[in-house]
Amino acid sequence: MNTYQFIKKTCLCFFILIVGGGCSSSQVSNEKKKEENKNTAIANVTTDQIAQKELSYHFDTDAQCDLGDYTDYAYTKNGYYHMKLLNQENDNMTYQLTFTDKKSGKTVPVCTKSNCTHTSADCDANFEEGYDGDHASANKSYYIGYGYFQYYKGSLYLPVKKGDYVYLMKVGADGSTRSNVMKLCRFLQITKKKGDATETASFYPMLQIHRGYVYFTNDETGGKTATLYRKKMGGDQIETIKHLKSHQPMIYRIHPYGNYVFYIAGTMDSKGNMKSNLYAYNTKNKKIFLAGKNISGNYTVYKGSIYYTNGFKTMRIYRLSLGSFQPTYITKTAMKEGESVHLYGNGKKVVVQFVNNDGNLDKQMILENTKKVATYKTPKIKPYQNL
């Protein structure tokens, strides 16, 4: 600005002050207050609100809201699919895919073949495991999900082994079509010698599909490395999210939700106890942050909070806000030997399921925010009944 422009601007402001009061100190003060109020409003957007925004849930494209080591239910708005163990001969198992209608409550095998008895491998609903043994054919796809499968964009997806590799199989909602849509990784088998004997152990990838990506691990339990990968649906390029190299490292219980992928990572001691934490991978900026310390049990992410369990004989339940990351103790309960725990969101509440060795429900506990609402000896609430 030259001298003439400066004098002209100063005189203009002086003229307005005299004639119209346009540059009054009160107006400047009001504008300043408006700006301060605007900045204050921005500052008052809590991290809880930000977390809530980034943790939105889309039914058709997102990983299911509950979590077990291997999820054997897939929920739709009209009912739910179940992958149940049909029979077991030695180490070779057959699973059957069923569907339960929400309105009628009727359960049927997912098969469209007429006059099918639903007992043979030719049934659309039946899936064989054939990862080892002489009967396994290199040209056939064998199911290796241990009950896990997922509903995604109107179809079902599950991991299969064909030859030496793990593929993602797409199954039609009525069971009539099957196709291997992408190769995930090499099927992991470790052969070790014990004296004169040779033992072969097979390891299964844990995976979740979420918003166009497949997230999975492919590790030897008790090995020296553990890695979390992801691949774009239908793509070939593999990305490494996290790689651990130590004594018996583990990455497990992968749980995508919103813009994050949560997982537990740590190491196992000689007694089989895990020393681990909960981490979150931001799918937008690809950064990882610590979400919760000393968490090794089961958990679920629900409406901006993480509900998780810790302990064995006595199990404690906590709620972890994704805004403050401060855990709040809710309740505790005695655990039976061999009992497992599963958590999921249902309507406005969180349901905690206690499953015995036979795979049956012992009881259900209902949580709301940081309170235990009720415990049912006979389970009364079904998963996703409010959808």
Helix or strand holding residue 16 (H, E): helix 3-19
pLDDT higher than threshold 70 for residue 1 = no
**Residue, of 239 and 140, whose pLDDT is higher:** 239
What is the per-residue pLDDT for 49?
A: 52
Per residue in 272-282, pLDDT (tens digit) is: 777 899 999 99
pLDDT higher than threshold 50 for residue 46 = no
Which pLDDT band holds residue 45 (cuts at 50, 70, 90)? very low
What is the per-residue pLDDT for 59?
A: 82
What is the per-residue pLDDT for 131?
A: 57
What is the per-residue pLDDT for 76?
A: 86
Q: What percent of the chain has pLDDT over 90?
A: 35
Give the Cα-Cα-Cα angle 353, 332, 289 (nearest 5 degrees).
80
What is the per-residue pLDDT for 20?
A: 34
What is the per-residue pLDDT for 382?
A: 56
What is the secondary structure of 267-333 as a DSSP string?
A: EE-TTS-EEEEEEEEETTT--EEEEESS--S-EEEETTEEEEEE-SSEEEEEEEETTT--EEEEEEE
Which residues make Cβ contacts (< 8 Å) with residue 337, sequence separation at least 6? none
Q: Mean of the pLDDT values across residues 73-93?
A: 80
Per residue in 358-376, pLDDT (tens digit) is: 767 788 888 988 888 888 8
d(CA 35, CA 41): 10
Which pLDDT band holds residue 16 (cuts at 50, 70, 90)? very low
Highest mean pLDDT among 5-14, 226-235, 254-263, 346-355: 226-235
Q: What sign results for the dihedral spanned by CA atoms 37, 39, 44, 45?
A: positive
d(CA 349, CA 346): 5
What is the per-residue pLDDT for 52?
A: 56
What is the per-residue pLDDT for 11?
A: 36
Which pLDDT band holds residue 72 (cuts at 50, 70, 90)? confident
pLDDT higher than threshold 70 for residue 36 = no
User: What distances in angstroms separate CA 12 from CA 9, 15, 23, 26, 185, one per listed residue?
Assistant: 5, 5, 10, 19, 74
Which residues make Cβ contacts (< 8 Å) with residue 51, sequence separation at least 6? 304, 321, 322, 323
pLDDT higher than threshold 50 for residue 9 = no
Which range, of 5-9, 223-227, 245-249, averages the lowest pLDDT? 5-9
Highest mean pLDDT among 130-134, 210-214, 282-286: 210-214
Q: Half-sphere exposure of 63 toward its Cβ, with a 13 Å CA cutoff?
A: 29
Highest mean pLDDT among 211-215, 217-221, 330-334: 211-215
Answering whether pTM is above 0.85, one says no
Per-chain mean pLDDT for the chain: 79
Burial 103-126 (b: 16+ CB within 10 A, else e): eeeeeebbbeeeeeebeeeebbbb
What is the per-residue pLDDT for 143?
A: 92
Q: Mean of the pLDDT values across residues 202-231?
A: 92
